[in-house]
Amino acid sequence: MTGGRLTQGLRRAAQVKPAGVAAIDGAHHHTWSETVSRVARAAGVLREAGLSTGGRVAILALNSHRYFEIYYAIPWAGGAIVPLNTRLALPELQYILEDSGAEILVVDEHFVDAARTIRERVPALRMLLHIADTPAPNGFSGYEALIAAGKPAQDAERHGSDLAGIFYTGGSTGKAKGVMLSHDNLVTNAVNGCYMIGYDPTSVYLHAAPMCYLTDGMSTLSITMAAGTHVFIPRFEVEACLDAMTEHGVTNIALVPTMIGMIVNSPGIEKRDLSHLRQFMFGSSPITEGTLKRAVELWPDMKFLHGWGMTELSPIGSMIPHHLRDPKVAGDRLKSCGVAPPNVEVIIADEEGREVPRGTIGEILVRGPIVMQGYWNKPEETAKALRGGWLHTGDAAIMDDEGLIYIVDRLKDMIISGGENVYSTEVENAISVMPEVAEVSVIGIPDPKWGEAVHAIVVPRNGATVTAEAVQAHCRNLIAGYKCPRSVELRTEPLPVSAAGKIQKNVLREPFWREKEKRVN
């Protein structure tokens, strides 16, 4: 057999550390040997339900040890993972399930009502699998009862270029795109995670960020590969996060800078024992100087790992090297998002795909074994993104003489708010169907708490009355809450357009970013 296999890391962990603690989730503690047994039996449940080879299994749940088990049981059974963002609206979830052709939907107790509605809208689903301590409701299959009674399945041993998962990301054309990642993609990224983050058998990782994102999924696979320990809390809440960190001796955590700011400014933080914590890993944007200063005051020896990536890269595209994770050593270099992984090529290129001199702004292009197979059922968008043998990321950056990358702008109309990616086209499409709206443009504007905020500029139709509140309420019925505009500006004059008739977003953004040295926050 050639090529990577997701289940290999799990089997190895049970081989080298069978009695080691694999998962801590409240009162649930499982060793690596127990975890492999539960995964094999969960895979048997999926097969008994009729999961086809390469069939998709969607997961809509908060963080838990059962989410972790299903994450591995799906490839063990021969299927492909489709994690669902728990913050999406029902129409968005329905679209992803239909687009991916999901055969099974896995939910926890928080999404039972949503799953019932989805089942009515997506009749192709053959099973609703309920992962929780509580009994399964009518119409759902109970995970614990089934794996207790079921037989372990043989590992399907899917590997290499076989599809491991479809990971949906915001669509530049208004519909989410399914990023196809192979076993090779995800295994290579996990190896990079072990090397670049520094995971080893003594690592204890806290799943506080949502497991539906590859930001966390990266560590799901890397910590397993290292035979470390996973600790789970359902969602990020400051007190729950700090309690888990102190109680279980957490060594590693991945958060967005906004969350780190909430931690360092929480009451009583000085009394918390975080001596086990080795480093804060963060992405989406550099940490603010105020948050960093406060963190260094609290923990002078703490390391800070800034990374950059995207779903299309499985997801690590770059990380701060080990010697620059100490703020006292790194200085302003901590504002960079680091260097390329050892097995990945990254260049800064002009519009023709030619590498530009160091210190010159261009687009980040990437090639290597972490680059996606393509977008599910979107050959034209795949060809555009992967032209010339490189992934064209749509992020504008410079690279210095040390190979450090500094993001300066986004070439695509994407907003990053509180660590969430928001494509402006998705929001514009939602607003545009309001009968009172003649024109709309959505941009990202600086926000001191969230980094960037979604801002809608709306021109009403002649004689129509539109309010900011009405626009926001309308959006909440169609798209996830984090995509809804935090502010709405109403204009009577037409929006500025180019000679080709395209709305000039650079003109609309200018007043908000005038005092900023770069066009991302």
pLDDT in tens, 458-495: 999 888 889 999 999 999 999 999 999 999 999 988 88
Q: Is residue 75 part of a domain?
A: yes
| Domain C-terminal end among 369, 388, 410 | 410
Structure tokens at 513: 């970013």
Containing 196, the helix (H) or strand (E) segment is helix 183-197
Q: Is residue 249 part of a domain?
A: yes
Q: Is residue 241 part of a domain?
A: yes
Task: Report the alpha-carbon distance of residue 513 to residue 176 in Å, rounded.
Answer: 28
Where does 183-289 show beta strands of DSSP type E? 204-207, 229-232, 252-255, 279-282
Q: Would you call 85 exposed, middle or buried from its count of C-beta atoms within 10 A (0-12, 13-18, 19+)?
A: buried
Q: Is residue 330 part of a domain?
A: no
Task: Report the alpha-carbon distance of residue 410 to residue 451 in Å, rounded.
Answer: 14
Q: Looking at residue 222, what is its pLDDT?
A: 98
Are 223 and 81 contained in the same domain? yes
**pLDDT tens-digit map of 2-29:** 799 999 999 999 999 999 999 999 999 9
- Whether 172 has a pLDDT exceeding 60, the answer reads no
pLDDT category at 451 given cuts 50, 70, 90 is confident
Are 418 and 369 contained in the same domain? no
| Domain C-terminal end among 410, 430, 454 | 410
Which residue in 512, 476, 487, 398 sits closest to 92, CA to CA? 476
Which residue in 9, 15, 3 sits closest to 218, CA to CA? 9
% of the chain surpassing 70 pLDDT: 96
SS3 115: helix
Q: Looking at residue 520, what is its pLDDT?
A: 72
Are 429 and 398 contained in the same domain? no
Are 352 and 234 contained in the same domain? no
Residue 136 contacts residue 112 (beta carbons within 8 Å): no
Cβ-Cβ contacts under 8 Å for 340 (sequence gap 6 or more): 317, 318, 346, 366, 403, 405
- Whether 418 has a pLDDT exceeding 90, the answer reads no
Structure tokens at 151: 């037989």
Q: Is residue 381 part of a domain?
A: yes
Angle between helices 90-100 and 112-121 in degrees, nearest 10: 50
Structure tokens at 285: 């944007």
| Domain C-terminal end among 255, 272, 292 | 255
Residue 126 contacts residue 50 (beta carbons within 8 Å): yes
User: Mean per-residue pLDDT for 175-194?
Assistant: 96
Containing 410, the helix (H) or strand (E) segment is strand 405-410
Containing 28, the helix (H) or strand (E) segment is strand 28-31
- Whether 199 has a pLDDT exceeding 60, the answer reads yes
Q: What is the CATH number of the domain that holds 350?
A: 2.30.38.10
- Whether 409 has a pLDDT exceeding 80, the answer reads no
Q: Is residue 505 part of a domain?
A: yes
Please name the amino acid found at residue 147.
I
pLDDT category at 174 given cuts 50, 70, 90 is low
Angle between helices 214-226 and 65-76 in degrees, nearest 10: 80
Are 395 and 418 contained in the same domain? no
Q: Would you call 106 exposed, middle or buried from its count of C-beta atoms within 10 A (0-12, 13-18, 19+)?
A: buried
Are 207 and 70 contained in the same domain? yes
Are 201 and 98 contained in the same domain? yes
pLDDT category at 423 given cuts 50, 70, 90 is confident
Are 55 and 88 contained in the same domain? yes
Are 148 and 226 contained in the same domain? yes
Task: Report the alpha-carbon distance of residue 170 to residue 442 in Å, rounded.
Answer: 14
Q: Looking at residue 1, what is its pLDDT?
A: 60
Q: Looking at residue 31, what is its pLDDT?
A: 98
User: Mean per-residue pLDDT for 284-293?
Assistant: 76
SS3 485: coil
Residue 63 contacts residue 86 (beta carbons within 8 Å): no
Residue 58 contacts residue 104 (beta carbons within 8 Å): yes
Q: Is residue 325 part of a domain?
A: no
Mean pLDDT of the chain: 93
Are 395 and 433 contained in the same domain? no
Q: Which domain holds residue 145?
A: 6-255
Q: What is the CATH number of the domain that holds 499?
A: 3.30.300.30
**pLDDT tens-digit map of 247-262:** 999 999 999 888 898 8
Cis amide linkage into residue 315, ω under 30° from 0: yes
Rg (CA), the chain: 23
- Whether 137 has a pLDDT exceeding 80, the answer reads yes
**pLDDT tens-digit map of 218-254:** 999 999 999 999 999 999 999 999 999 999 999 999 9
For the ranges 35-44, 326-335, 390-399, the one whose mean pLDDT is highest: 35-44
Q: Looking at residue 285, what is its pLDDT?
A: 67
**pLDDT tens-digit map of 73-99:** 999 999 999 999 999 999 999 999 999
Q: Is residue 264 part of a domain?
A: no
Are 109 and 237 contained in the same domain? yes
Structure tokens at 64: 């838990």
Q: What is the CATH number of the domain that holds 22?
A: 3.40.50.12780
Residue 175 contacts residue 201 (beta carbons within 8 Å): no
SS3 189: helix
Are 201 and 67 contained in the same domain? yes
Total domains in the fold of the chain? 3
**pLDDT tens-digit map of 35-79:** 999 999 999 999 999 999 999 999 999 999 999 999 999 999 999
